[in-house]
Amino acid sequence: MPAGWIAKEIMNLRPVLLLSAAFAASGPLQANPQLAQQRACMACHTVDKKVVGPSYKDVAAKYAGQAGAADKLAEKIVKGGVGVWGAVPMPANPKVSPAEAKQLAEWILSLK
Ligand code: HEC
């Protein structure tokens, strides 16, 4: 088998290898940003800029030190709501399980 063929195969595989390396390197700590992507939260939110909804850092700052904030936000993530940040409502996210919502809320509150 000519060496050139192998080099070509490696080049073809490179994007796949890079992708798996990226996932392996991110590990469990990145699970919540990935979950936020998968659940389309990032269509309306970013970590540090207001888009349709408030930035997650603003949310974290607003609720810093408040007891029960994670549960309150988890419920709002699932059911949606309006009036805390303005007149634009967050629609309900019924595909997000309560456990996922809690994870997302805790991740958001941990941002600084
Ligand atoms: C269609 C746009 C949209 C999507 C999708 C969306 N949000 Fe929101 N989100 C908003 C808006 C708008 C608000 C502000 C609501 C308000 O003022 O009460 C908000 C508010 C929030 C808040 C703050 C709630 C509060 O009461 O202070 C959190 C936390 C949040 N979103 C998390 C999420 C998560 C997690 C997801 C994904 C499961 C998500 N959002 C998906 C638009 C969206």
What does the pLDDT look like over 58-76, one tens digit per residue?
A: 999 999 999 999 999 999 9
> What pLDDT is attached to residue 26?
45
Mean pLDDT to the nearest integer, 80-102: 96
pTM of structure: 0.81
Which of 32, 34, 38, 44 gets mutated to test ligand 1 (max ligand atoms within 8 A of its CB)? 44
Cα of 81 vs centre of ligand 1, distance in Å, is 8
The tokens describing 49, both together, are 């800029």
> What pLDDT is attached to residue 76?
98
The tokens describing 31, both together, are 């699970």
59 SS3 class: helix
Q: Is 81 in the pocket of ligand 1 (CB under 6 A)?
A: yes
Task: Please determine, for residue 20, whether its predicted confidence score (pLDDT) is greater than 60.
Answer: no
